[in-house]
């Protein structure tokens, strides 16, 4: 996948700074992707350290494995141990079985790799099948959703997960256009039903595509599960660093850290979310919407 080489990790140096990676530590990258963040973490862990990665996308995991193998050739004896898991990050606690780590990073949403591969069906920039599954081996596709879900439920999905105010109009148009089988066809149907408004800079189908992707991959439930498990995964003094790309993600992170701080579980390190500077957004437009929040695990009840 040549496009994978163009993947640029978002807020890389900021994430590394907040993770406070130390030689000999154990760090989890819960959203491994192309191992952009993970490679920088590995450089700092040293041979005594350990990097644990999770990704439910088998293609992304294979690319990450190759990148980390290349890094091993570069670092030699200074390469940390690497343990990769082909599962959802919501299962991290189950996989780690009581092991606590020094740092946990999650970069939510989809990567540039997903958007660049038309056959994966995440983007309307190039025509492809309506798939949208991060794990293409299982689950319901976006095509099945738009063609079989009843109109009211479809409208609710578009409204809840896309924050799209014109969801009922869009759902009605989709139902009338069935069968809808490709990304380009869906984008045309949505744009005709709800044309772009003057003040909007995004394509009129953007929110509908986001909604379907989140629904198909149960993304918010995954995030909720990780946030719930995080206090048990991160050891006292360890760091939690989370990067969100839209309000549905960021609101969950902010509320969880605020509640954790109230309970004495987390010390929030970011009073306001960290964002990309102009130089990074020029280099990587995807970084414009990224928000990073970080916290340090406090000792609670004799931890």
Convert the pLDDT of each residue in 58-98 to its tens digit. Answer: 999 999 999 999 999 999 999 999 999 999 999 999 999 99
Q: Which domain holds residue 280?
A: 2-113+219-297
Please give the pLDDT value at position 284.
87
Are 293 and 257 in contact by the 8 Å Cβ rule? The answer is yes
Which CATH number does the domain housing residue 251 bear?
3.40.50.150
CA distances from 182 to 126, 131, 137, 186, 189 (A): 10, 9, 19, 6, 11
Q: pTM of this prediction?
A: 0.94
- Return the pLDDT at 114: 67
More confident call, 197 vs 259: 259
What is the average per-residue pLDDT within 182-195?
A: 97
**Burial annotation 185-207 (CB, 10 A radius, 16+ → b, else e):** bbbbbbbebbeeeeeeeebbbbb
Among 187, 217, 247, the domain-final residue is 217
The per-residue pLDDT for 302 is 42
Separation CA 231–CA 263 (nearest Å):
11
23: in domain: yes
- Quick one: what percent of the chain has pLDDT higher than 70? 95
Q: How many residues does the chain have?
A: 303
Which among 156, 184, 217 is the end of a domain?
Answer: 217
Phi/psi class of residue 97: alpha, beta or left (left: φ > 0; alpha: ψ in -120 to 50)?
left
- CB atoms inside a 10 Å sphere around CB 149: 19
Query: Token pair of 262, please?
Result: 């109230």
Q: How confident is the model at residue 303 (pLDDT cuts 50, 70, 90)?
A: low
> Distance between terminal CA atoms of the chain?
45
pLDDT of residue 105: 98
- Percentage of the residues of the chain whose pLDDT score is greater than 90: 86
* 303 lies in some domain: no
Closest CA to 245 of 291, 294, 293, 214: 291
Average pLDDT over residues 9-36: 96
Same domain, 189 and 224: no
pLDDT for 4 beyond 60: no
Relative orientation angle of helices 247-262 and 219-233, to the nearest 10 degrees: 30
Give the Cα separation of 215 and 263 in Å (integer). 31
Same domain? For 13 and 104 the reply is yes
Looking at the fold, whether 231 and 94 belong to one and the same domain comes out as yes
Judge if 283 and 156 occupy the same domain.
no
Would you say residue 125 has pLDDT above 60? Answer: yes
Q: What is the dihedral of CA 252, 26, 70, 8, to 10 degrees?
A: 20
Number of folded domains in the chain?
A: 2
Instruction: Give the three-state DSSP class for 137.
Output: coil
Phi, psi of 113 (to 5 degrees): -65, -45
Q: Does residue 272 lie in a domain region?
A: yes
Beta strands in 61-171 (DSSP E): 81-85, 101-107
| 301 vs 17, higher pLDDT | 17
Query: What is the enclosing helix (H) or strand (E) of 302?
Result: none
In-domain check, residue 302: no
């Amino acid at each position: 996948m040549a496009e994978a080489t163009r993947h640029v990790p978002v807020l890389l140096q900021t994430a590394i700074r907040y993770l406070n990676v130390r030689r000999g530590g154990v760090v989890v990258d819960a959203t491994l992707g192309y191992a952009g963040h993970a490679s920088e973490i590995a450089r700092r862990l040293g041979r005594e350290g350990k990097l644990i990665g999770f990704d439910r996308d088998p293609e992304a995991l294979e690319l990450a494995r190759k990148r980390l193998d290349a890094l091993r050739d570069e670092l030699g004896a200074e390469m940390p141990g690497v343990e990769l898991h082909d599962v959802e990050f919501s299962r991290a606690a189950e996989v780690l079985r009581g092991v606590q780590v020094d740092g946990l990073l999650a970069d939510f949403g989809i990567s540039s790799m997903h958007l660049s591969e038309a056959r994966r069906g995440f983007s309307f920039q190039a025509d492809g099948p309506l798939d949208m599954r991060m794990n293409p081996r299982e689950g319901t596709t976006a095509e099945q959703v738009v063609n079989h879900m009843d109109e009211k439920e479809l409208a609710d999905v578009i409204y809840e997960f896309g924050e799209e105010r014109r969801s009922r109009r869009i759902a009605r148009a989709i139902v009338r256009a069935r069968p809808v089988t490709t990304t380009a066809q869906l984008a045309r149907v949505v744009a005709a039903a709800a044309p772009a408004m003057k003040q909007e800079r995004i394509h009129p189908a953007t929110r509908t595509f986001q909604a379907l992707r989140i629904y198909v991959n149960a993304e918010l439930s995954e995030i909720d599960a990780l946030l719930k498990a995080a206090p048990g995964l991160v050891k006292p003094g360890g760091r939690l660093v989370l990067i969100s790309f839209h309000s549905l993600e960021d609101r969950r992170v902010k509320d969880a850290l605020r509640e954790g701080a109230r309970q004495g579980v987390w010390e929030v390190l970011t009073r306001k979310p960290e964002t990309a500077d102009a130089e990074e957004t020029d280099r990587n437009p995807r970084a414009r919407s990224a928000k990073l929040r970080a916290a340090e695990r406090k000792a609670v009840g004799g931890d």
